[in-house]
C-alpha cells in the first residue's frame, strides 16, 4: 500500500512537516497493526516552488514536478498539510493541486491537516481544505487535524481533545478506510460506495 504526503511548509524545520510526519507515522502504524505494509513518500512543496510557478505559466512540468504529480495521482491515499496564510491554505499548496487534473484524484482517500499560529484559524480545515478536496472528488475522512503553536506538547483534559488524540483518531480513520479498500474493494463495500458516488459527481 502506498501513502503519499504533501507538505506545504516553507521553513526548515517546519511545524507543517512535523504534523505531516506525525500523521503519516500514525496511519502506517495503524495499518501495520492490521497486517498491511505501507510505503510512505513525502513531497515537500517548498523544493518544488519554482517548478510549480513555471508550470503555471508554461503548461509543462519539469521532471521533478511531474514525478511528484504522478506520485500523488497514483497513491492509495493522501495526507495533505498546509500552513495557514490569510485565513486559508497557502498559495503554493493551492497552486500545486491546481496542476492536477480534477478527475485524477476522484475517490481517493485524503486526510487533511493544517498548522497556524493560533487556534483562531482552525476552521480553515472546513471552509477551505475540505471544499477543495470535495471539488476534486476525493473521499475526505471525517477527522481533520489543525495544530496551533500552543497545541504542540498539549494533552487532553476534561473539555478538550489534545493534538496527540486528534492525530491518533485521524490516523485510525484513514487506516480503516485504506484497509477496507485493500481487503474488499468491491462496490458493495460501504466505503467504496461512498468513494464511487463522489467519483461520479460532475462539479461545474
| 41: CATH | 3.40.50.360
Q: Give me the number of domains the chain comprises.
A: 1
Q: What is the pLDDT along the chain (204 residues), one digit of tens a residue?
A: 999 999 999 988 899 999 999 999 999 999 999 999 999 999 999 999 999 999 999 999 999 999 999 999 999 999 999 999 988 999 999 999 999 998 999 999 999 999 998 888 899 999 999 999 999 999 999 999 999 988 887 665 544 678 999 999 999 999 999 999 887 655 444 444 454 444 443 333
CB atoms within 10 A of CB 157: 8
Contact between 50 and 61 (Cβ < 8 Å):
no
**Which residue range(s) make up the domain with 103?**
2-200
Measured CA to CA, the distance from residue 115 to residue 20 in angstroms comes to 10
Task: Assign 25 to helix, strand or coil.
Answer: helix
Amino acid at each position: 500500500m502506498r501513502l503519499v504526503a504533501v507538505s506545504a511548509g516553507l521553513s526548515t524545520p517546519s511545524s507543517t512537516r512535523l504534523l505531516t510526519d506525525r500523521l503519516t507515522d500514525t496511519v502506517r502504524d495503524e495499518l501495520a497493526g492490521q497486517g498491511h505494509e505501507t510505503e510512505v513518500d513525502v513531497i515537500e512543496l517548498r523544493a518544488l516552488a519554482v517548478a510549480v510557478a513555471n508550470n503555471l505559466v508554461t503548461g509543462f512540468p519539469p521532471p521533478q514536478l511531474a514525478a511528484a504529480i504522478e506520485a500523488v495521482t497514483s497513491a492509495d491515499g493522501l495526507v495533505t498539510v498546509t500552513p495557514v496564510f490569510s485565513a486559508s491554505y497557502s498559495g503554493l499548496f493551492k497552486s500545486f493541486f491546481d496542476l492536477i487534473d480534477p478527475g485524477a484524484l476522484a475517490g481517493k482517500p485524503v486526510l487533511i491537516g493544517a498548522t497556524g499560529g493560533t487556534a483562531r484559524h482552525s476552521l480553515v480545515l472546513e471552509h477551505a481544505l475540505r471544499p477543495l478536496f470535495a471539488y476534486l472528488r476525493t473521499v475526505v475522512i471525517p477527522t481533520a487535524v489543525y495544530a496551533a503553536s500552543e497545541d504542540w506538547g498539549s494533552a487532553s483534559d476534561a473539555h478538550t481533545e489534545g493534538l496527540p488524540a486528534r492525530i491518533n483518531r485521524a490516523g485510525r480513520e484513514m487506516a480503516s478506510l485504506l484497509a477496507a479498500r485493500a481487503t474488499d474493494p468491491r462496490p458493495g463495500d460501504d466505503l467504496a460506495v461512498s468513494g464511487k458516488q463522489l467519483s461520479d459527481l460532475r462539479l461545474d
